[in-house]
Amino acid sequence: MAAKLGRRTDARRMLFRSLLTSLFDRERIVTTEAKAREVRSLAERLITVARRGDLNARREILRWLLDEGVAKKLCDQIAPRYADRQGGYTRVTKLERRRGDGAPLALLELV
């Protein structure tokens, strides 16, 4: 996690946990480009861990996600989709700038 995003460590970690939970629940989220780039690497790692499918993998995933139901969905539905894929589970697509402050937005979705 290289970018600090203007937050303290605990707030940044909670932001990432929230974004990851939303991503795996809805399978696509709209956020700023900087947040999308940071969350993308975490999401890729979590999917790789979920592909193992053992108890330890589920516990590692629960350390990052806020909802056990979403963790179950990641292990049982999302990870098997990528069983024969060597990475590249997510896609970041740039969108128009946010109207209020002009922040660059991006769509982060599972491929």
What confidence tens digit (pLDDT) does each residue in 59-71 have? 999 999 999 999 9
Query: What string of H, E and C letters represents the secondary structure of the chain?
Result: CCCCCCCCHHHHHHHHHHHHHHHHHHCEEEEEHHHHHHHHHHHHHHHHHHHHCCHHHHHHHHHHCCCHHHHHHHHHHHHHHCCCCCCCCEEEEEEEECCCCCCEEEEEEEC
For 55-106, how does the pLDDT look when each residue is reduced to its tens digit (9 = 90+)? 999 999 999 999 999 999 999 999 999 999 999 999 999 999 999 999 999 9
Band of pLDDT at residue 51, cut at 50, 70 and 90: very high
Does the predicted model carry a pTM greater than 0.75?
A: yes
